[in-house]
Amino acid sequence: MKTRSGPLNILLTGGGGFIGSHVADAYLRAGHRVTVVDNLSTGKVSNLNKRAQFFQEDIRSATLDTIVRQFRFDVINHHAAHIDLRHSVTNPWHDAEVNILGTLNLLECACRYGIKRVIFASTGGAIYGDQGPYPTPESCPARPVSPYGVAKLAGEHYLHYYQTVHQLRAVTLRYANVYGPRQDPRGEAGVVAIFIHRLLHGERPTIFGDGCQTRDFVFVGDIVRANLLALDYLNENSGDSDPLVVNVGTGQELSVNELSCLLKKLRSSVPEAIYAPPKPGEQRRSALDPSRAKRMLGWEPLVPLEGGLKETWDWFRDGLR
């Protein structure tokens, strides 16, 4: 997919990560110049596009100022984050250092060097907390029940401040549960990747709680299109008084038990899941209403769940060969 924007000089934080690396690929295909900043704490060198300029730096570092001053970017796309929700519960201090102070450092750099356009990767489920209606619209009050959700909401509020006071324009993309190729199966984030990895190795996946908790699973390719369309929006709309905040999800709830059943269909013989006690800080239900994204960006999910799961399964399977 090509953007309607002319060639732009883009700073992409977290461009070595699962989602960020796909966004980098798409921006480069669209003819933009991309500089990636990633400390590789969770990102991978193998994810980096060789056509992108790369700096292995932390977004909290003073070196970020030097990079932004030197290259004078047109747009910042901010994907670098501490994304482990459960770890944020056990260590909220570290989560806040990265997701709040790191974001603040980036926005201060933007103001110092005249960067007026920002795309911010936020979270849908973790910001709304356990409240209806489902699917949840952006008008629903933000009531996060994890430090990760609190930190992402703080980032959104900072964007409002910087747009009001410093005329920085922003699009915030509140992601549902993203899955797809390159997702890291190690750690606690990304249930699709974790389940597929274990099943392909003949191991039993673990379901925490009763498995009836629901999530809104959106394919990474659809997320990439939202980031492309956000560029067009920022290029074509200059008079906004507030940052645009949109949900990027399918609007469909799927339980973890249902996800397990769908993945079993991709292989003739797979081990049964193990059930374990629920984890603190996890929500019971989550689904995002994407209608504002369609109205404002022209975005809607295109990849059906079973097709996306099959593509993800094949990617993990091919990596074992």
Number of neighbouring beta carbons within 10 Å of residue 252: 18
Q: Map 113-154 to HEC letters.
A: CCCCEEEEEEECHHHHCCCCCCCECCCCCCCCCCHHHHHHHH
C-beta of residue 170 within 8 angstroms of C-beta of residue 163: yes
C-beta of residue 277 within 8 angstroms of C-beta of residue 209: yes
CA-closest candidate to residue 243, choices 252, 256, 233: 233
Q: How many CA atoms lie within 13 A of 42 on its CB side?
A: 23
Ordered alpha helix ranges (H), 237-304:
256-264, 291-297
Which residue in 27, 113, 134, 148 is the catalytic one?
148
Q: Residue 290, preceding bond cis, omega within 30 degrees?
A: no
179 is catalytic: no
The pair of three-digit structure tokens given for residue 30, joined into one six-digit string: 């669209």
Residue 150 sits at the vertex; the CA angle it makes with 144 and 153, to the nearest 5 degrees, is: 95
DSSP string covering 259-274: HHHHHHTTSSS-PPPE
CA-closest candidate to residue 308, choices 212, 177, 141: 177
- Positive or negative: CA dihedral 148, 234, 16, 46: positive
CA distance 307 to 41: 30
Q: Radius of gyration (Cα) for the chain, nearest Å?
A: 19
Interhelix angle 63-71/102-112, nearest 10 degrees? 30
Which residues participate in catalysis according to the annotation? 148
